[in-house]
């Protein structure tokens, strides 16, 4: 089997509409427009570090593990301890300048001070904050070459949903919320994300005050809570990502080069690369590969490390879906039926596992005592047990794909993707 690279035009029904990716992708692969092949991206930005953002709003997002972007004015008395905790939990803490001026009314030297000092202050007070993006006060863009010296993207606000590839990363738009805007109720929020889903685009919300904290255009937490419940109920369609992560994903996706080698009846080896700086552009990109009809399933590995993956069927075609960070080396996609215990390079014992896929429970057989652990595709441990000689596993799990590890004497002797029907 030979493959070649070409300019990919994605027309998959799962994406809803053709999206030209400016990348060279092996024809066996597809790179998702949005993470997880979801229909739209949604970002929640909170400006001005108002009093109720951290104690009231952030817990609403944390309830569903949704990550936000906190555009912080460094001279307006930020709650650095709260921001450190939010950043450590995956929220983006980043720049809204030092004193919140209209950049367009400043000299270039003054803009430089606002942009550079804000970034330095945030990084000094929030060690886990990369501070790579900026929101312009009053939505007025400043001197773009100066902004580009410090940030990968900047946000304005003209209440538009953006396409999958925005035309200008230094004038990314947002939709304002609260009593001074048209987005005040749960229904208003939901209508905007529904429009983004239809357009296969990116919806960025801009929120200031929460309830009665004195911030501009306050948004009621009850309305926000109702909307986030809607997002959680429809999470199959929406990727909620921070402002920086979505920017990075778009740029990586558009620059992605996917090549495949070591093609055999039981294994493929692929590499994902791009031409972007790896220290900045290092978020995972979602990829899928069509599986041969003879394969029982697929296991994805990077060297001896399992890569979480899932099996999906679209238009009658089976795919393995996984995420890869560009420029991190080769990834192996293997027929699950051929993966044996020496995969991790830690021993010679081989476990027998059957049936796979299974409907009620699965049997793992291995001489001597051993442990088995089952993980969801996002890496969460969902089942564990011990056995000697044989062990029944997987009863009670929901239908789907999982990663099974078999461990003996502290060594991983088997790693395999299993599927519950």
Whole-angstrom CA distances from 8 to 13, 223, 320, 345, 414 are: 15, 41, 19, 36, 36
What are the tens digits of pLDDT across the range 49-83? Answer: 999 999 999 999 999 999 999 999 999 999 999 99
- pLDDT tops 50 at residue 119: yes
Per-residue confidence (pLDDT) for residue 350, from 0 to 100? 62
The answer to whether residues 172 and 320 belong to one domain is: no
Neighbours of 79 (CB within 10 A): 15
Q: CB-based burial of residue 312 (10 Å sphere; 0-12 exposed, 13-18 middle, 19+ buried)?
A: middle
DSSP bridge pairs for 71 = 47, 94
The answer to whether residues 168 and 148 belong to one domain is: yes
The answer to whether residues 28 and 58 belong to one domain is: no
92 in Cβ contact with 243 (< 8 Å):
yes
> Binning pLDDT at 50, 70 and 90, where does residue 347 land?
very low
What are the tens digits of pLDDT across the range 17-35? Answer: 333 344 578 888 999 999 9
> Binning pLDDT at 50, 70 and 90, where does residue 11 land?
very low
- pLDDT tops 70 at residue 14: no
The answer to whether residues 265 and 393 belong to one domain is: no
Per-residue confidence (pLDDT) for residue 346, from 0 to 100? 36
- pLDDT tops 70 at residue 36: yes
Per-residue confidence (pLDDT) for residue 307, from 0 to 100? 86
The answer to whether residues 118 and 208 belong to one domain is: yes
Structure tokens at 39: 């229909």
On whether residue 241 sits in a domain, the answer given is no
The answer to whether residues 329 and 360 belong to one domain is: no
When divided into structural domains, the chain yields a total of 3
Last residue of a domain, one of 336, 362, 377: 336
What are the tens digits of pLDDT across the range 181-239? Answer: 999 999 999 999 999 999 999 999 999 999 999 999 999 999 999 999 999 999 999 99
The answer to whether residues 109 and 88 belong to one domain is: yes
Name residues whose C-beta falls within 8 Å of residue 119's C-beta, 6 or more positions apart in sequence: 95, 131, 150, 151
Q: CB-based burial of residue 357 (10 Å sphere; 0-12 exposed, 13-18 middle, 19+ buried)?
A: middle
Q: CB-based burial of residue 141 (10 Å sphere; 0-12 exposed, 13-18 middle, 19+ buried)?
A: middle
The answer to whether residues 218 and 231 belong to one domain is: yes
CATH number of the domain residue 291 falls in: 2.60.40
- pLDDT tops 80 at residue 367: no
Q: Which residue has the tokens 């978020």?
A: 283
The answer to whether residues 71 and 113 belong to one domain is: yes
Per-residue confidence (pLDDT) for residue 378, from 0 to 100? 65
On whether residue 2 sits in a domain, the answer given is no
Last residue of a domain, one of 269, 301, 336: 336
Rounded to two decimals, the pTM is 0.78
Domain that holds residue 30: 7-37+249-336
Any idea what the Cα angle at residue 224 is, between residues 56 and 231, rounded to 5°?
Answer: 120
Mean pLDDT of the chain: 88
């Amino acid at each position: 089997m030979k493959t070649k690279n070409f300019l990919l035009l994605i027309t998959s029904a799962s994406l809803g509409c053709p999206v030209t990716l400016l990348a060279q992708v092996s024809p066996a692969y597809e790179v998702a427009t949005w993470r997880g092949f979801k229909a739209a991206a949604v970002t929640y930005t909170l400006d001005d570090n108002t009093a109720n953002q951290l104690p009231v709003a952030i817990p609403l997002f944390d309830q569903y593990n949704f990550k936000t972007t906190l555009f912080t004015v460094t001279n307006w008395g930020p709650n650095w301890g709260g921001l450190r905790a939010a950043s450590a939990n995956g929220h983006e803490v980043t720049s809204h300048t030092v004193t919140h001026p209209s950049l367009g009314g400043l000299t270039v030297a003054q803009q430089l001070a606002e942009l550079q000092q804000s970034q330095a202050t945030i990084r000094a007070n929030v060690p886990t904050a990369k501070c790579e993006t900026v929101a312009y006060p009053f939505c007025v863009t400043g001197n773009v070459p100066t902004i580009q010296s410090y940030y990968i993207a900047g946000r304005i606000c003209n209440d538009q949903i953006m396409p999958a590839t925005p035309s200008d990363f230094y004038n990314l738009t947002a939709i304002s919320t609260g009593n001074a805007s048209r987005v005040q109720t749960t229904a208003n929020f939901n209508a905007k994300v529904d429009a983004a889903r239809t357009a296969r685009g990116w919806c960025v919300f801009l929120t200031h005050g929460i309830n009665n904290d004195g911030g501009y255009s306050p948004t009621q937490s009850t309305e926000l809570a109702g909307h986030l419940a809607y997002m959680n109920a429809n999470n199959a369609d929406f990727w909620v990502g921070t402002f920086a992560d979505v920017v990075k994903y778009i740029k990586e996706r558009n620059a992605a080069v996917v090549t495949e080698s070591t093609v055999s009846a039981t294994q493929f080896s692929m590499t994902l690369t791009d031409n972007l700086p790896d220290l900045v552009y290092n978020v995972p990109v979602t990829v899928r590969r069509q599986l041969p009809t003879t394969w029982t399933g697929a296991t994805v590995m990077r060297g001896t490390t399992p890569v979480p993956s899932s099996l999906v069927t679209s238009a009658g075609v089976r795919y393995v879906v996984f995420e890869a960070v560009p420029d991190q080396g080769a990834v192996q996609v293997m027929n699950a039926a051929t993966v044996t215990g020496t995969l991790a390079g830690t021993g010679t014992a081989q476990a027998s596992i059957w049936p796979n896929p299974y409907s009620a429970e699965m049997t793992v057989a291995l001489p001597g005592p051993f442990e088995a652990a089952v993980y969801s595709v996002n890496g969460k441990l969902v089942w564990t047990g011990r056995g000697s000689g044989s062990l029944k596993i997987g009863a009670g799990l929901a239908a789907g794909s999982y990663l099974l590890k078999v461990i003996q004497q502290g060594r991983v002797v088997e790693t395999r993707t299993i599927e519950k029907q």
